[in-house]
Chains A and B, each alone.
Chain A
Amino acid sequence: MQEERLAIHLKERPSQLLEAKNKGVKIIGYFPGNYVPEELIYASGAVPLCLINGGDSKPAEMALSVVPQVICPFARAQVGERLLGKNPYYSMIDMLVAPITCQHLKKVAEVWEYNGDLEIFKLGIPHQHNNDFELEYFNDRLRALKDRLQAFTGNEITDEKISEAIVLYNRMRELLKNISLLRCTSPSLLSSLDFVKLNHASFYADPAFMVDYLDSVYHELKDKQQVTKTETPKILLIGPSIGYGDYEVLQLVKAAGGDIVIEEICEGVRYYWNKVESKGDLIESLAREYLVDRVPCAFMRYSTRKRLDFALKLIKDFAVSGVIWYELLCCETYDAESYFFSQELGDRNIPMLILESDYSAANTGQFRTRIEAFIEILRGVME
C-alpha cells in the first residue's frame, strides 16, 4: 500500500515538474557527493534535482563519443543521459550546480560548460578545511550561489526560507537515519536494496511529500520490528556512489545469503547521519555542516584515517562481519584508499571484498561468483 503511494508519486513527478516549469518554477540539477546544500536551492523556490542515474551501460557507453573511457562510468552516465535525451529529468533542468569534487564529475561540468547549452554554477569545494580561509572560501561561494539563485529564479532567498528548508531537510535526514538504524537490529525488516531505493526516491520526490511518506514508513516498520537472531552475515557496503538503478550488487548479495545492514556511500550514511545546526549565520551553518562536520568523501585531504575510523565504528555498532567495497572503474581516490582499508581490515581479520564496476552486463557473472564466495567465507559453508 505504502510502496504504491511512492511509486505513483514518482511516476507522476516528471509531469508534475514540467507543469511547474511551465509556470516559471526553475528546476536545478546538482551532482551527488553531499557537498551541494539542497536547502539553498529549495529556499529559492526552485526544485533541487539530484542527477544520480547509474548502473545502465548504455548512457555510459554513449558518452564515449565525448569523453574517453578513463572517465568513470558514473560520470559518463551523466553525460550519456543528457545525450540520449530519454530521461526527462536530465532534459528538464534549467541549471546545474556542479560541486567541484573529483576529476570525473568536474569533467562532466566542464564538458557541459563547453557545450554551452546549460547554465552552470561551479561550486568550488575546498579539499581541506584545516585553515580558516578554506571554510571562508566555501562560505563565499555559498553566498555567491545564493545570489545566483536569486537572480536566476527572481525570488528573494530570505533567512526565513532557508530556515524552513533546513528544518524540512533535517527532518528527512532524521527519518532516513532512524529507518536505517532499524536495520541494525532487524536486518530482515528492510533490505539494503529497498532502503537504497527509498533513499534514492528522496532525491526525486517532492521533499514535503517524502518527509510525510518516510514518517509513515518509519512507524510501520517500527511496529514490525523484532530482534531476531540470524545466521545471515551482516555486511557493510563502502563506496562512492550507488547510482539510481545500479542495484545489481545489492541484489546479488541478498541472493547469495548476505545482509548489507548499512551503506557508507555518498548519498548513504554520510548524507543523513548528521543534521544542519542552525547557529547564527545560516550560510555559515550550512557551510560548516556540509564541509566540516560530515564524514568526508575519499577525495578530501586527510580523509583516509577519518573514513577508516568511521567504518570501524559502523562495523562495531552494526555487528558487521565483512565489508564489501564497491567502486567504479578508474576512480583513483577510492582505488588508492581500498589498499589502505584492505591492509587495516586485514590486520583486524575483517574480510573485505573489492568489486569494481564499469556498468557493463558482463559484470554479473563475475560479481556473482565473488559475492557468493565471499558470503561462503563469512558464513562457513556448513549452514
Chain B
Amino acid sequence: MIELLELCGYGEQEIESELPRVEKAFNKLGITVDDIERGKQRLNKYYDMELKGVRKALRLILRELVDALLVRDEGVKNVIYGFMAPGFDLLSSALVTKSKDVFSIHHSWAFQIFIGCIFGKIVPILEEAERKWLKAGMVAHCANLKTLVGPLTLGLYPKPDLLVTTGLLCETSPKTIDLFHELYDIPVWYVDACQDRTSGEYPEPSERVAISAAKSLKRLAERIQEVVGFEITDDMLLEVQDAKGKMGEAFDRIRDLIATSAPLPLSPAHENIWMCLNVLALSINGITEATDAVNLLYEELRERVAKGLGVVEKDAPRVLATLPMGQTDPRLEHLACEVGIAIVATDRNIEASIKEIPEDPYLRFGIGMQLGAMHVPPTMRIPLLIEGCKKLNIDGVLDRFHVGCRAVAGDALLIDNAIKKELGIPVMLLEWENFDPRVYKHEEYKKRLEIFKTMMLANKQK
C-alpha cells in the first residue's frame, strides 16, 4: 500500500497521516492485497511513473476519491454531486474554496481511473448499474453513467444533498438523475440550454444559447445556495474561472508540445489523467496545485523532447484520435503505442476560440461551452476537424466513436466520409465504449491498428 501511495505522489509525511484514511476507503471498495499488487503493476505498465508530474496528478485524483468515500463518515455537512454538468465544476470549486462544510465531486472520473484503469475492477460496478436501468450489449447505455449509478446504488458514494446534471451533452444523464430522484429520493437539479444552434451560428457562439445557458447556471447557483446556506458571488466564480483558465493554458501547452514533437514523448493513456484534473472539484489552492503538476509535467516532457526521447518511433504516423479516450481502461491507447502509432492530438486540440471574453462569469460559461469540437453539429465539427488535421499534419484519424453517446457517435460516418474526401487520409472507425473494458478485444484491435498504420504509411509515400 505504501508503495502504491508513493507511486501516486504521496510524500512521506503525507503517507503517515493519510494511510489510515486510504485504507478505510479501500476497505469500503473491497480492494484486496492482490488488487494493490495488480494496481502497482498496471501503473508501471501503462503509465510513465518516472514523470513526477504524473505522480502529482495521480495524488490529487486519489485524494478526491478517498475524500468522496469517507465524506459522510467524516461528518461533512453538505454533499453536492454533479455529473456530465459543464458549469457545475465552476460552482463546486467556488463552494469548496469557501467552506469546509461542503464537499463536491463532479463526474466519477477519479473512480474510473483508480477502480478501472489502475485496479481493473470496474466491471462489477458496471454490472450493478446494468441490474438497474442501464443496458449492456448492442443498445448500450453510456457506461460513464454506469460508474455513477453503480457506486450510488451500492452505497459506495453516500447519498448527496443535491445531484446535478445538464442536458448540454446528452439525455441519458438527465433521465438517470430523474430516476434517482424518483427511486431514491435524492434532490436533483438540471442546467439546460437548447441545442438549436443553426447555420450561421457556427463557429461563433450563439448569443441566445449563451444567455439561456447563463440563466440556467445562475438558477443552479441559487438552488445550491439554498442547500449550503451561503451565496456564491460573481467574484468567487471569476476567481475560479481565472484559476481554471491558467490550468487550461497549462493543458494547452502540453497538448501543443505533444502535437508538435517527434517522437511522441508521452503515451496517450496519460491524457485521461490530466483531463481528470479539469473536472475534480478542487478549491482554488487545489487548482493551483493541479496547474503546478501539469506545468511540472510539461517541463519534464520538454526535457525528453530535447533529448529526442519518445514512446514510438520518430517517423510513426501522426494520428488524431477522437474523444473520449478509454477512461476505465488504458489498453487501447497503450496498444496504439505498441503498434507504432503516434496519437498526437484529440478533439481538444481543434476547438474554436473567441477574441472577447465576457466579464459576467455566467455568460463566460454560456459562450465557452459552445466552443468545443465534440458536442456540436457536424456542420461545425467537421470543418474544425479538417482544419485541425491540416494544421497538425495528421496522417490518419482514429474515430473511436463511443456508442453510448448518441450525440457524438451519430457523426461517425459523416466524419469518415468527409475526412477521406477532403484530406485523402485514412480513417479508422472503431465502434467503442470508452468506459467499458469488456469491449476490448486485443487480437482484433491489434490487427485493425496495424492495418491502419500500414494504410497511413502507404498513403504518405504517395
Contact = CB atoms under 8 A, between A and B. Distances in A.
The answer on direct contact between A and B (beta carbons under 8 Å) is yes
Interface of A: 65-71, 100, 102-104, 106-107, 110-111, 113-114, 120-128, 131, 133-134, 137, 140-141, 298-299, 301-305, 329-330, 332-333, 335-340, 343, 356
A113 B414 CA distance: 12
A68 B403 contact: yes
Interface in B368-408: 377-379, 382, 401, 403, 406-407
A336 B176 contact: yes
B132 A339 contact: yes
A332 B192 CA distance: 18
Contacts of A107: 406-407, 410
A131 B215 contact: yes
B172 interface: yes
A100 B194 contact: yes
A211 B234 CA distance: 56
B192 A336 contact: no
Nearest to A113: B379
Contacts of B139: 70, 329-330, 335, 356
Contact of B382 (A104, A114, A305): A114
B175 interface: yes
A7 B164 CA distance: 51
13 contacts: A68-B413, A110-B377, A110-B379, A111-B414, A122-B198, A123-B196, A133-B215, A299-B175, A303-B178, A332-B172, A332-B406, A336-B141, A336-B175
Contacts of B195: 100, 106, 124
Given A71-B406, A107-B407, A128-B190, 17 more contacts: A65-B413, A68-B413, A70-B410, A103-B406, A107-B406, A107-B410, A110-B411, A298-B175, A301-B192, A303-B178, A304-B182, A332-B406, A335-B139, A336-B133, A336-B176, A339-B179, A340-B183
Contacts of A302: 178
A124 B195 CA distance: 7
Contacts of B410: 67-68, 70-71, 103-104, 107, 110-111
Contact of A113 (B175, B198, B212, B407): B198
Contact of A68 (B132, B171, B431): B431
A106 to B, nearest CB: 6
Interface of B: 132-135, 138-139, 141, 167, 170-172, 174-176, 178-179, 181-183, 190, 192, 194-199, 208, 212, 215-216, 219, 377-379, 382, 401, 403, 406-407, 409-414, 431
A122 B133 contact: no
Contacts of B413: 65-68
Contacts of A104: 406, 410
A304 B133 CA distance: 13
Given A110-B378, A113-B199, A125-B194, A304 B179 contact: yes
A328 B190 CA distance: 26
Contact of B378 (A111, A122, A304, A330): A111
Contacts of B382: 114
Give the 4 A-B CB pairs with smallest separation, nearest first: A124-B194, A124-B196, A339-B133, A107-B410
B379 A340 contact: no
B200 to A, nearest CB: 11
A114 B379 CA distance: 5
B171 A113 contact: no
Contacts of A336: 133-134, 141, 172, 175-176, 179
A330 B215 CA distance: 32
Given A133-B212, A332-B141, A332-B175, A68 B412 contact: yes
A131 B141 CA distance: 29
B150 to A, nearest CB: 15
Given A70-B409, A301-B178, A120 B199 contact: yes
Nearest to B194: A124
Contacts of B414: 66-67, 111, 114
Contacts of B431: 68
Nearest to B414: A114
Nearest to B407: A103
B164 to A, nearest CB: 12
A305 B194 contact: no
A304 B178 contact: yes
Contacts of B182: 304-305, 340
Q: Which of B182, B410, B414 has the most CB of A within 10 A?
A: B410
A137 B212 contact: yes
Contacts of B199: 113, 120
A335 B133 contact: yes
B215 to A, nearest CB: 5
The interface centre, meaning the residue of B138, B141, B406 with most chain A CB atoms within 10 A of its CB, is B406
A8 B379 CA distance: 42
Most buried by A among B135, B181, B195, B197: B195
Given A107-B410, A114-B377, A128 B135 contact: no
Contacts of A298: 175
Contacts of B135: 335
Nearest to A71: B410
A122 B208 CA distance: 13
A104 B190 CA distance: 21
A101 to B, nearest CB: 9
Contacts of B190: 127-128, 301
Given A123-B196, A336-B179, A343-B183, A301 B212 contact: no
B83 to A, nearest CB: 14
B167 A301 contact: yes
Nearest to A333: B175
B174 A301 contact: yes
Contacts of A103: 170-171, 406-407, 410
Nearest to A109: B377
A137 B194 contact: yes
Contacts of B379: 110, 113-114
Nearest to A137: B212
A63 to B, nearest CB: 10
Nearest to B132: A339
Contacts of B172: 332-333, 336
B192 A141 contact: no
Nearest to A122: B196
A70 B407 CA distance: 10
A299 B170 CA distance: 10
Contacts of B138: 69, 329
Contacts of B183: 340, 343
A127 B194 CA distance: 8
